[in-house]
Amino acid sequence: MTPPPPPSRLAIALAFAAVYVVWGSTYLAMRIGVGSLPPFLLGAIRFFLAGCAMWGYHAAKGKTHLARGHWRNTTIAGLLLLVGGNGGVVWAVQHIPSGLAALIVGTVPLWVVALAWATGARRPSGRLVSGLGLGLVGIAVLLGPDVVTAFAHDQAPGTPARAHALGVLAVLFASLSWAMGSLWSRRARVPEAPLLPTGMQMLAGGAALFLLSAVRGEMTTFSPAQVTSAALLALAYLVVFGSLLAYSAYIWLLQVVPPARVATYAFVNPVVAVFLGTALAGEPLGTRTLVSAAIIVGAVALITTAPADAPPQTR
């Protein structure tokens, strides 16, 4: 069988543009959405609707034939990326500014490099090691005394400092989960139909988020009457642009571009998110945030300009 031609530079550039710009704006959209929609229910609706649309498109074209292991592999990816990764961020933006969440997600390339090395990739170069060290410094500056203060004084749940600390830790966990899911998506054997694996991931992740929402009791306290028009617009934006466009572009890029380069979305997303959060939502822009942003951006730049790894091996 003749291998498919490599993707054009224009296609890759457009996919990067979608991931860079659109994902940077989704932090503000999520913050607006969770203003009247429970966080996990918001994520469940978002990804399940997008997954249904993607599956329906391929079903209409008769391209939903699956082999053994396809659902398992895409479900694992969906749980890591959408439940652990995106779900953690959606919950956290209730307690921390969207720009701060975006800056912490900027550590994803650090996790990607570390996990890739731990699972068989070649040893990181000096540039990668320097980037990892600089990234850890950036995280320390970003977190500041908030986490230490909140837990050292054993404040009761619900106080501002403790809620802020838990939000920060949730995004750190989400970043690690996202990195794991990204590497799994790159290496796992999935259907060959373009974007069908993406739809399967969103269906699995959306279903899991519905279950998590029910377990947490979100559906018992939620009333559709409380949903504002702004939240509905934010949800629609997340479904169409955040999931169908940008998430699909991200998963596709993982198959055709080295993961460290795909992770450069974390270089641009914080800039877009901080700008929008300040300009449209009036979120504060402190000195510590600016300093940590500069450090994390420098770390990401070092990591993503290092030599590329070999192409992925499927399993």
Mean pLDDT of 201-222: 93
> Can you read off the two tokens belonging to residue 226?
């409380």
List, in sequence order, every beta strand (DSSP E) within the chain. none
Q: Which residue in the block uniquely carries the two structure tokens 């978002």?
A: 46
The per-residue DSSP string of the chain comes to: -PPPPPPPHHHHHHHHHIIIIIHHHHHHHHHHHTTTS-HHHHHHHHHHHHHHHHHHHHHHTT-----TTHHHHHHHHHIIIIIIIIIHHHHHTTTS-HHHHHHHHTTHHHHHHHHHHHTTPPPPPHHHHHHHHHHHHHHHHHHTTHHHHHHHTTPPTTSHHHHHHHHHHHHHHHHHHHHHHHHHHHHS---SSTTHHHHHHHHHHHHHHHHHHHHTTHHHH--GGG--HHHHHHHHHIIIIIIIIIIHHHHHHHHHS-HHHHTTHHHHHHHHHHHHHHHHH-----HHHHHHHHHHHHHHHHHHTSPPPPPP---
Dihedral Cα 173, 189, 244, 116, nearest 10 deg? 30
pLDDT band at residue 145 under the 50/70/90 scheme: low
pLDDT digits (tens, 9 = 90+) for 218-272: 988 888 999 999 999 999 999 999 999 999 999 999 888 888 778 878 777 777 7
CB atoms within 10 A of CB 132: 21
- pLDDT number for residue 154: 46
- Give, rounded to a whole angstrom, the gap between the first and last alpha carbons of the chain: 20
Among 67-76, 130-139, 205-214, 246-255, name the one with the lowest average pLDDT: 130-139
- pTM of the full predicted structure? 0.80
pLDDT digits (tens, 9 = 90+) for 265-293: 877 777 777 777 777 767 777 787 788 87
* Residue 201 confidence (pLDDT) above 80: yes
- pLDDT number for residue 156: 47
Burial of 214 (0-12, 13-18, 19+ CB in 10 A): middle
pLDDT band at residue 152 under the 50/70/90 scheme: low
Q: Which residue in the block uniquely carries the two structure tokens 């749980």?
A: 79
- pLDDT number for residue 153: 53
Spatial separation of the C-alpha atoms in residues 64 and 84, rounded to whole Å:
26
Spatial separation of the C-alpha atoms in residues 24 and 21, rounded to whole Å:
5
* Residue 305 confidence (pLDDT) above 60: yes
> Can you read off the two tokens belonging to residue 205?
């992740």
- pLDDT number for residue 202: 96
Q: What percentage of the chain has pLDDT greater than the value 90? A: 34
- pLDDT number for residue 157: 52
pLDDT digits (tens, 9 = 90+) for 19-29: 988 988 887 88
pLDDT digits (tens, 9 = 90+) for 99-134: 677 778 878 888 888 888 888 777 778 887 888 788
CB 30 within 8 A of CB 93: yes
* Residue 213 confidence (pLDDT) above 90: yes
